[in-house]
Amino acid sequence: MGARCSKFSICWFHSHLKTSVLESSDLENGGKGEKNAWPSFGEFSLEQLKVATSGFSSDNIVSEHGEKAPNVVYKGKLDNDRWVAVKRFNKFAWPDSRQFLEEAKAVGSLRSERLANLIGCCCEGDERLLVAEFMPNETLAKHLFHWENQPMKWAMRLRVALYLAQALEYCSSKGRALYHDLNAYRILFDNDGNPRLSCFGLMKNSRDGKSYSTNLAFTPPEYLRTGRVTPESVVYSFGTLLLDLMSGKHIPPSHGHFSNEDGMELVRLASRCLQYEARERPNAKSLVISLMSVQKEAEVPSYVLMGIPHGTASSKQPLSLTPFGEACMRIDLTAIHEILEKMGYKDDEGIANELSFQMWTSQMQETLNSKKHGDTAFRAKDFATAIDCYTRFIDGGTIVSPTVYARRCLSYLMNDRPQEALADAMQAQVVSPQWPTALYLQATCLFSLGMEGDAQETLKDGTNLEAKRSKN
């Protein structure tokens, strides 16, 4: 294992990443050089979609509004094993079948990496359904307002803003500048963790569409005055989304981790979008240009920034994972913190042995105080202080503790420093080769760095070692 870990370095990491931020001109037809073509738009029978959604089972509902909403979105699987999102409208939503088909075909002609593309529809009797690409990694609202592990990283928030602006610019260039109900629930994340704009909002309002938006905070003043929607109205809604990305309704401002300069740039852009007079707002192309200049960590894939498992390796789970292993797989740093806290120093022979033989010198007392303060900060989730204290303990050189390396490793991860975290996890293994925790933490670091194959192998090693220890 030690030999395998020696190859992980910052240079290796950067040399194997591809730029994830594309220019707007590369978005159509899958991007420049993209071999994966989207299926052409087609019509489905009601029976096909019933089969795909298991009879429109409530278990397959993915819409945030629930089963009683007028329009419900289901997850479905077609005959060719392709996952899709199926939107089933209220029976009175589109009384004119011809209008529905024309709208669906127009939206279905769009193809972009920034959209969750429409690939089909169904129009039988009173039934009106749309079929789109399925996005497996939740909505922006989920990640921004209801995060369970860690708040969304600043670099990812900037990327969401750019990709959304690129989606709007692409739609405008194709004559579909109007987007209804633009909000955080309309932005979805694909297999690669990239944000996509739902195509459903591109459909013109049907008869039951009583308002421009379900949330007045997103509704432009001109709609409230006249009931009319313009491309500038969409830019207004985009401005409210920028404000959400900056703060997040349920996220303390301290969790944003952005510089004053970055923050002010987005505030200025949002204020331009939210101008009372529609003509004073920027267009989509201007938004793209402004947001391109503020992007961070453009070379890092979205799934890494999002902490989303990626690739075929992550979808297979041949191991029976322990709670620690499950937490590593999910990159659930909060759960790992709880595990390390409960574990304490019971597997750490280094400190006990050293204390038995060392004299109580002033240097020794100072070193132990650094560890004590580090443990207090670690328990209080003050990870920056924990890093400082544990570093003083380690640099003292009096005692070698794999547990301290493990705790500093997690503290580094909590501070978005996966490379330093990986080095500590590897050092913990050097000190204690038969300690599964060191391998589990290495796996977590590798998942954070997007190195899926190596992470899976290391997770397997840790799981096997823990199983072996439990038998002894």
Provide long-range contacts, Cβ within 8 A and 24+ apart, for 346-353: 347/402, 347/403, 347/432, 347/435, 347/437, 348/401, 348/402, 348/403, 348/432, 349/432, 350/399, 350/400, 350/401, 350/402, 350/431, 350/432, 351/399, 351/401, 351/403
Catalytic residue among 181, 190, 332, 454: 181
Q: Give 42's strand partners.
A: 120
CATH among 1.25.40.10, 1.10.510.10, 1.20.1070.10, 1.10.10.10 for 19-298:
1.10.510.10
The whole model's pTM is what?
Answer: 0.61
Tokens describing residue 305:
């920034």
Provide the residue ranges of all domains of the chain, joining segments of one domain with +: 19-298, 311-471
* Choice among 222-226, 338-342, 431-435 with the minimum mean pLDDT: 222-226
Query: CA-to-CA distance for 331 and 449, rounded, in angstroms?
Result: 11
The CATH number that domain 311-471 falls under is: 1.25.40.10
Task: Tell me which DSSP letter residue 71 carries.
Answer: S
> What number of other Cβ atoms are within 10 A of residue 220's Cβ?
26
Query: CA-to-CA distance for 316 and 310, rounded, in angstroms?
Result: 11
307-333 residue pLDDT tens:
887 754 334 444 577 888 888 888 889
Is the pLDDT at 5 greater than 50? The verdict is no
* 422 or 32, which is more confident: 422
92-112 residue pLDDT tens:
788 889 999 999 999 999 999
Query: CA-to-CA distance for 114 and 203, rounded, in angstroms?
Result: 17
* Residue 416 annotated as catalytic: no
Q: Which of the four pLDDT bands, split at 50, 70 and 90, describes residue 216?
A: low
Is the pLDDT at 17 greater than 70? The verdict is no
Mean pLDDT of 440-462: 86
pLDDT score for 151: 79
